[in-house]
Copies of this chain bind each other. A is one copy, B any other.
């Protein structure tokens, strides 16, 4: 489906440096809907296919085979993670209002957590955005950036440090219908990656007034819900970008088999062939790691450590693959004439998104500290 139906859209001029336009998105959604492949990760009651995590691993990788596939099938970030979060945490009324149109592709959404320095980045605890209780409402002020999909979103999930009276009650998530006064797109940020609808925006929140009924889950439980969202969201990133890496690899393999240099097709030069062999190994171990982690989730386990490990392995393996594909293609790999160049730039971001490798390594290492004991080895 992806190869046949979506790849042709890759040359569509409505694919901009800030992602596919909504017009293009809706057109591709139509194709996916007709194929019965919209929102496969969502429960059937919301119009999806109700796939479990292991099944998603297969389908999302296929979707990712085109950088447009996840948008077409409505399983791209941040919407996909938001759907998961709403299904887990939102009230039935909130689900009806926010989740249903999101699951059908009628609306897009965004997730407003990251802030520019000195605010919340890899360390979310430095969040500067505040929500202050004012009667039945909360009034939110702050500055968010790298907010994927904010431009054109139908609603936002906004995270803010919350104060009731003179008490700090922790970070809270708020559901915000868009557009609305007080939520202002300051600019679209030029960035290395270019496949998310709506691009990445810088957002100013100025006295944004939200009724208490739009709190998502419990007040003060924002960081807990962020984890609920992040563990699977991290894995779905792995799945989609694994598909992209496979695409880049297939392009490189095809090229290496046909391009002649120094007397033979370059796949027969070990300098090239070994890169492709390493790609195969990286694709394989990444896929196994994803399958294992999704199996854990389907068993009802949290899989925090395993998803951290696979996030690091996948993001770095996928990046190595894309980098090798550029090198195999040579000059061609530096041009937009194949998808490899775009994939390379897009997956570079993955080593930063969803927690940079350094934060995951730190968290994996921290788990090892209690295992230590004072007796010498």
Q: Are B270 and A271 in contact (CB under 8 A)?
A: yes
Q: Are B277 and A361 in contact (CB under 8 A)?
A: yes
Interface string of A335-352 (1 = CB under 8 A from B): 111100100110011011
Q: Are A361 and B330 in contact (CB under 8 A)?
A: no
A residues 327-377 with Cβ under 8 Å of B? 327, 329-338, 341, 344-345, 348-349, 351-352, 356-358, 360-362, 364-366, 368-369, 371-377
Select which of B284, B292, B329 is within 8 A of A309 by beta carbon. B284
Chain B residue nearest to A329 (CB atoms) is B377
What is the minimal beta-carbon distance from A176 to any residue of chain B, in angstroms?
A: 22
Q: Are B258 and A358 in contact (CB under 8 A)?
A: no
What is the minimal beta-carbon distance from A160 to any residue of chain B, in angstroms?
A: 19
A372 neighbours in B (Cβ, 8 Å): 253-258, 265, 267
What is the minimal beta-carbon distance from A124 to any residue of chain B, in angstroms?
A: 10
A274 neighbours in B (Cβ, 8 Å): 270-271, 358, 361-362, 365
CA distance A269 to B362 in the complex (A): 9
Told that A114-B331, A257-B371 touch, could you supply 11 new A-B pairs with CB distance under 8 A?
A: A121-B261, A122-B330, A123-B262, A254-B376, A257-B373, A258-B374, A274-B358, A274-B361, A280-B364, A285-B285, A327-B351
How many residues on A have C-beta within 8 angstroms of the other chain's C-beta atoms?
88
A326 neighbours in B (Cβ, 8 Å): 192, 348, 352
Q: What 6 A-B pairs have minimum CB-CB distances, sorted nearest first?
A: A257-B372, A273-B365, A190-B336, A270-B270, A277-B364, A123-B261
Chain B residue nearest to A265 (CB atoms) is B372
Does A227 make an interface contact (CB < 8 A)? no
Q: Are B368 and A273 in contact (CB under 8 A)?
A: yes
Select which of B123, B336, B351, B369 is within 8 A of A257 by beta carbon. B369
CA distance A369 to B266 in the complex (A): 10
Q: Are B335 and A146 in contact (CB under 8 A)?
A: yes
A residues 257-302 with Cβ under 8 Å of B? 257-262, 265, 267-274, 276-278, 280-281, 284-285, 288-289, 292
Q: Are A366 and B191 in contact (CB under 8 A)?
A: no
Q: Are B122 and A336 in contact (CB under 8 A)?
A: no
Does A1 make an interface contact (CB < 8 A)? no
Q: Are B357 and A191 in contact (CB under 8 A)?
A: no
Does A185 make an interface contact (CB < 8 A)? no
Q: Are A358 and B191 in contact (CB under 8 A)?
A: no
What is the minimal beta-carbon distance from A145 to any residue of chain B, in angstroms?
A: 8
